[in-house]
Structure 1
Amino acid sequence: MTQTLPTAPTLRADARRNRDRLVAVATRMFTDRGVTVPLEDIAREAAVGIGTLYRHFPTRDALIGVVYRNETEALNAVADELSNTLPSDEALAQWLHRSLDYLATKRGLGAGLMTLLQDNPELQAVAKGGFPRMLDRMVEAAKRDGTIRADVDASDVMHALGGIYSAPASPDWQARSGRVLHILMDGLRRR
């Protein structure tokens, strides 16, 4: 059955604040505890009733989808901001480090996200168009500027990231992955 994600309708200011707070709390709790966290805990932490949560997000999958879409869009916006303000190799490096936060959220969404992606063409389009497209754009810009090696492409970087991102979860996973990203960038930069 194909699902669509709930969009944020025009809301009163207080309803908008409630919805935004629910998404922020869900993002943090999904990252820390996984998608099986009780929705009642999310509502309580967001200081709203469970009915308010269900008015905005009728199902757990609807909330997961909005969290994923928001995180993907935020990562894309960061890519634009960094590309406009930093040298291309530094923009790429900082964006890859920020992608670790994105990945931490994605890991928290886990199997729930995979199931949702299978059943939701809109979310599939977000997934396919977001990270790979931005990575390609940033790698190509750094190659054009001569700040990274000309003999690499985004698929090479994606392949290297696969190893970093598939490392087993541990308390120091993010810090260790950040160090490996520094090593990756050292290898990509021209000498």
Structure 2
Amino acid sequence: MPRADAQRNLDALLRAAKEEFAANGVDAPVRAIAARAGVGTATLYRHFPLRSDLIAAVFRREIDDVTELAGRLARTHSPGDALELWVRRYTEFVATKHGLGSALHSGDPAYSGLREYFEGNAGPALQRLLDDAADAGVIRRGIDPIELIGAIANLSAPPPGSEHSERAGRMVGLLLDGLRYGAAPTAAR
């Protein structure tokens, strides 16, 4: 278990990197990330000797966040609302990852296992939301969570030559409408 100050620095670095990556892509300057985190570049390099280590850590943290969010939403919202809120959050996650896709597919060993980690964590969390929504009769049955995640990712990418991500919300809204088509409403009790 890291010391409390080391954990604070690590958390600050991951938050700062996430924000810098969202604003400037995964090639954001290391100095800008360290400055945003309120630490020196030596602290950043001590935790993340390579940029790929930092990118992988940010991605894992984001996976953990969207996975945890699914459980929290399932406990606090109706099944349809929980699913829609999760999908909207995941859309934001994808839409703000400028350059992450190409980095993850670069063959760098730092990224090995991330796909499996994502599918093994976010997949089951989304499956629960899908099952709850289908049981409530608000979406149709038989939606594969990994296929849905892929569809959301594809719809969330800005059009070629554009940096605009506002289109993602509209496209994913259409996808959600499609999930509702053919839903079997539950009988009144």
Q: TM-score normalized by structure 1? A: 0.80
2:85 aligned counterpart, secondary structure: helix
Query: Are the structure 2 counterparts of residues 162 and 53 from structure 1 closer, same or farther at C-alpha, using a change threshold of 3 Å?
Result: closer
Q: Do structure 1's residue 40 and structure 2's residue 47 form an aligned pair?
A: no
2:143 corresponds in structure 1 to: 153
Cα pair 1:31 1:109 within 8 Å, conserved: no
State the distance in 2 between where 1:141 and 1:147 align: 9
- Counterpart residue type for residue 80 of structure 1: G
Match of 1:90 among 77, 81, 84: 81
- Counterpart residue type for residue 176 of structure 2: M
Q: Show CA shifts across 1:25-74 (max 9, x none).
A: 10111122111112122112222111111111111111111100000110
- Counterpart residue type for residue 146 of structure 1: G
Match of 1:76 among 51, 56, 67: 67
Q: Which runs of 5+ in 1 are unaligned?
A: 1-9
Choose between structure 1 and 2 for higher RCO, CA contacts under 8 A separated by at least 6 residues: 1
- Counterpart residue type for residue 101 of structure 1: E
Answer with 89-98 or 141-150: which moved more. 141-150
1:57 corresponds in structure 2 to: 48
- Counterpart residue type for residue 144 of structure 1: D
1:26 corresponds in structure 2 to: 17
Q: Which runs of 5+ in 2 are unaligned?
A: none
Query: Are the structure 2 counterparts of residues 88 and 117 from structure 1 closer, same or farther at C-alpha, using a change threshold of 3 Å?
Result: farther
- Counterpart residue type for residue 93 of structure 2: Y
Match of 2:4 among 7, 13, 19: 13
Matches within 5 A, 1:134-173: 134-150=125-141, 152-154=142-144, 157-158=148-149, 160-168=151-159, 170-173=162-165
1:132 corresponds in structure 2 to: 123
RMSD (Å), alpha carbons: 2.5
- Counterpart residue type for residue 124 of structure 1: R
Q: Show CA shifts across 1:122-160 (max 9, x none).
A: 42321222333333332222112212124x412664564
Q: Alignment identity in percent? A: 36
Answer with 164-173 or 52-61: which moved more. 164-173
State the distance in 1 between where 2:131 and 2:155 align: 21
Q: Show CA shifts across 1:73-96 (max 9, x none).
A: 100011111111112111111100
Q: TM-score normalized by structure 2? A: 0.81
Query: Are the structure 2 counterparts of residues 188 and 163 from structure 1 closer, same or farther at C-alpha, using a change threshold of 3 Å?
Result: same
Deviation at 1:112, TM superposition (A): 1.8
1:146 aligned counterpart, secondary structure: coil
Q: Once superposed, which parts of structure 1, at least 4 consecutive aligned residues long, lie more than 6 Å away?
A: none
2:105 aligned counterpart, secondary structure: helix
Answer with 22-31 or 96-105: which moved more. 96-105
Cα pair 1:165 1:177 within 8 Å, conserved: yes
